[in-house]
């Protein structure tokens, strides 16, 4: 099992905006696309992939199950709907989008259904998103050690989630960092700006390179072709120990997303 380290996020993009973003990204060399049922853009993503001409076997496609399909009799049918929209017979990774503790569906039920989807070949790998340490432990208990490929979590220089990240590393679960730029807030950070000047890089590249060097996967999004191309260059940027230490000091528990009824008690 492996999770590619660099992909394209599609959160908040729909219609022609997401079609153009995905097609531009694929032209630039991206091969990892991250979507979700709640984004309401799976059909647009499927159209963009089809029009791109990139062979399916070159792609790594992730989607996420939304809370209204967590019940055992709904999860697999909902994933089949996602596959139809994406114009593929399988995705490479399927995640439970939020633990949603007040949702009325037990973790054991939806993790069991997700594991069944993998057995049916609808998804190559399975994982979770926005789970804390305790809920990750419970998910492992249901599906078995080594079955959870990733936990996709909000993580940025302002929210470094070290305790959870360390636990996931112990368990052999890849951290996928979303909102690595903290809704763009880190782009104005003077410490990151100074590091960017030192390396003749952009602040976005510095933040993404920081996450990559910590061993995390990243899925930044953009509607601008130049930003998509620029973000890719983060893979070639090497930050030194001093850079990494300065970024470590930016931690301020700066969480941007914690919806009531969906989020767990954060570690």
Residue 39 annotated to the active site: yes
The pLDDT tens digits for 79-112 are 999 999 999 999 999 999 999 998 999 999 999 9
The pair of structure tokens assigned to 74 is 């709904």
Residues of the chain with pLDDT under 70: 1
Other CB atoms within 10 Å distance of the CB of residue 188: 9
Half-sphere exposure of 128 (CA within 13 A, CB side): 30
At the fourth CATH level, the homologous superfamily of domain 8-182+215-222 is: NADP-dependent oxidoreductase domain (3.20.20.100)
Provide the H-helix boundaries in the chain.
15-28, 42-52, 72-86, 107-119, 133-143, 162-170, 190-198, 203-213, 225-232, 241-248
Buried b (16+ CB within 10 A) or exposed e, 118-127: beeebbebbb
Tokens representing residue 23 in the block: 């097609």
The one catalytic residue among 39, 70, 158, 216: 39
pLDDT at 102: 85
Spatial distance between the Cα atoms of 189 and 246, rounded to a whole number of angstroms: 12
Radius of gyration of the chain (CA): 18
Look at the alpha carbons of 207, 209, 210, 212 in this order and tell me if their dihedral is positive or negative.
positive
* CB 69, CB 101: distance < 8 Å: no
Q: What angle do CA 152, 125, 12 make, to 5 degrees?
A: 40
What pTM was computed for the model?
0.97
pLDDT for 1 equals 62
């Amino acid at each position: 099992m492996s999770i590619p380290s660099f992909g394209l996020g599609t959160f908040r993009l729909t219609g022609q905006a997401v079609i153009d973003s995905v097609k531009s990204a694929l032209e630039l060399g991206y091969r990892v696309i991250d979507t979700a049922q709640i984004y309401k853009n799976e059909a647009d993503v499927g159209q963009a992939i089809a029009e791109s001409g990139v062979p399916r076997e070159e792609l790594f496609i992730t989607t996420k199950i939304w809370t209204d399909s967590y019940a055992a009799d709904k999860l697999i049918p909902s994933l089949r709907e996602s596959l139809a929209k994406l114009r593929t017979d399988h995705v490479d990774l399927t995640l439970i989008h939020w633990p949603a503790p007040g949702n009325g569906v037990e973790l054991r039920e939806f993790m069991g259904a997700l594991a069944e989807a993998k057995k049916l070949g609808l998804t190559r790998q399975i994982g979770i998103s926005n789970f804390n340490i305790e809920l990750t432990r419970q998910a492992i208990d249901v599906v078995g050690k080594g079955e959870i490929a990733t936990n996709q979590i909000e993580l940025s220089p302002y929210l470094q989630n070290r305790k959870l990240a360390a636990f996931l590393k112990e368990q052999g679960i890849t951290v996928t960092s979303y909102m690595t730029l903290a809704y763009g807030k880190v782009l104005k950070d003077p410490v990151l700006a100074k590091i960017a000047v030192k390396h003749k890089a952009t602040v976005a590249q510095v933040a993404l390179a920081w996450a990559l060097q910590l061993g995390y996967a990243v899925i930044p999004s953009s509607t601008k072709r130049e930003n998509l191309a620029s973000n890719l260059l983060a893979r070639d940027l090497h930050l030194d120990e001093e850079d990494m230490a300065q970024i470590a000091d930016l931690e301020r528990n700066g969480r941007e997303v914690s919806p009531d009824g969906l989020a767990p008690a954060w570690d």
